[in-house]
Structure 1
Amino acid sequence: MHRRRVLTTAGALAATAAAGCLTADSNTSPAETTDTTTDTTTDTPAVPLSVSLDRYQPGVVAMTSPDSIGIRWGDRAALFLHVAPDGDDAPPRTDFRLRFDGSSYAPVDPDDVRLWREYGDRASAYGVEGRDGWMLFDLPRSGDAGDARLSWPGGEWGLPEGLRERLAAGFDFTVEYDFPETVEHHDRPTIALTVTNDADVPARYLGALNRSGPRVAHAPVETISFVLAPGETRTWTYEDDYFGSGLADEREVGDGQPDMTYYFESAGENREFRVRIV
C-alpha cells in the first residue's frame, strides 16, 4: 500500500462544506467537564440552574447537504454549555445571554444549525426535548474573557477560569495527514491524522471526513473530535469499511484511475485525497 503524508498548520481561516450519503456517526466525542456553579441576582426572583461546559471547539460539524457533513463557522468558536433547571421554572432559551469580550451573545436557534451530533437523536438542545440540554453560542475565536458569564432573569453563571483562558487564547494546531495512495482490492484503507496543540491552553480539535466512490456519490465517513493538552500530540487512525457502499467494479480495478476520493475538512483546511484500488 502506497501512502502519502502531508504536514500543515491550521489557523483562524474559514472552512467550506463538502458533499455526502447519510451514514451513522460512530465517533464518540465525550463532553468536557467543569465545576458547576450557580449565582443568583437579587433584583428578580432567583431561578437556580445547573450549568457546565459541554464542549468548546473551532466551529461545528453540520450537515451541509442532505448527505454530507462539513465544518461551519470555521473562523469562529462554538461554545456548548449544558443547562439544567433545578426547579420547575425553566427560562426559555431566548432569555439567556453570554457576556464575552464586551459584547452580549444570544444562544443559537437549534433549528438554524443542522448539527451532525444531533443526527439520530444523540443529544438534545435545551428546551427542545425536555428542559435539560445543550445551549450553543457562536463566538469570536479569541477575545477578552475576564468578564465572561452566562446570565438569565434571576441568575448568572461565571465561566470558570480554565474555560475563560481557553476563550481568550483561540486555537492553534499542526496537523500531519497520512492517507493511502493505493489499497489492495477487498482491503480497508487506514487513514491517520497526527495533531499537535500548539496553544498554551487545552484545545479541542475538530474535523469532518467524507468519501466519494467506489459506488456512492458522497457519504459521511467520520467526525474527528478530541481535546489536547498544551503541546500534546495525538494520532487518530480510522480503518474505512467502504464495502457498505459497494465494491469497485472489477473492470475498473488497476486501471490507474482513482476509485475513491476522501474529502477532509477542519477549520481553515479543505483537502482531497484520491485512492486507487489495485
Structure 2
Amino acid sequence: MKILSPAEKALAFRDFEDIWDNKTSRSILILVPLVMVLLLPVVFLIFFLNVPMTRMNGVEQMLLLLHAQASGMDERQGMFYLMTNMICPMFFLMIPLISSSVSAAYSFVGEKEHGTLETLLLTPLGIRKILKAKVLGCVLLSAVGTCASFVLFSIVIAVGDLMLSMPFYFNWNWLVLVFLLSPAVMIFGVVFMVLTSAKSKSYTESVQTSAYLVLPIVLLFTGQFTGLYQVGAELLLLISCVLLAVDFLIWFLTARLFTPEKLLR
C-alpha cells in the first residue's frame, strides 16, 4: 500500500524545493543543527581538554549529579559525561522541533503569502490529500535533517570519548531520545504549526510563534541541575508516550479544522 500517490509525492517534493529555495528556511535548517550538534559540543570538548578543572567553579557540585555508572570518572570525564547526557539531549531535541516547525510554517503559511493557496485548493487532490502530503513531507524533511545531525553528533562525541578514554556515549537515554521522543517532537512541531497556520498572517510571524515551543525542552533539561530530578530513560519514555498521544489528538483536531474556509480567511 502506497503512503503517497504520485500527485501527493509531487506536492511534497515541490514543498521541499520551495523550502530549500527560501534563504531564511535554508539558513535555519542548516545552521541550527550545525550549532547544536557540532559547534557547541566541540567548544565544550576543547574547553574540558584545555582548561584546568581547578579553575572552574562548582565542578564538585556538578559532579554530584553524576549517575551511578559514571561515579568512577575523573573530573574531565565527569564534566564531559554531564555535557553529553544532560546538556546535549536538550540541544539535540531542538533540531527536530525547529526544523519541523520551520518546514511546516513555510509549507502552509508560505502558500498564503505567495498567493498560491487558492490555486492549490482547486487541484483534484482534495483538502485531505493536500494536508497528508504536506504533513508527511515536512516530517520527512525534518527526519532527514535529524538523522544527519545524529550521525554528526555521534562522530563528535565518539572522538571526545576516545580522547578522554571513555566508553561510547550511547545508552538507554539516547535510545529513547532518538527513536521515540525525537519523532514525537517532530510530529508535534508539524501538526502544531498546521493548527496555528490559519491564524498566522506571515511566515515570519509563524516562525516566531514556533520559538515558544523550545521553552518546555529547555525547562525539562535545565531543571536537572536543581538536583530535584534526573531525566532518565523511564521519564523520556513516559514523555514520548504522552507526546505521541497529544500528537494524535492534535492531528485529529487539525484534520477536522483544515478546511478551505479557514485557510482562506
TM-score, normalising length: structure 2: 0.28
TM-score, normalising length: structure 1: 0.27
- Give the structure with the higher percent helix: 2
**Higher relative contact order (Cα pairs below 8 Å, separated by 6+ residues):** 2
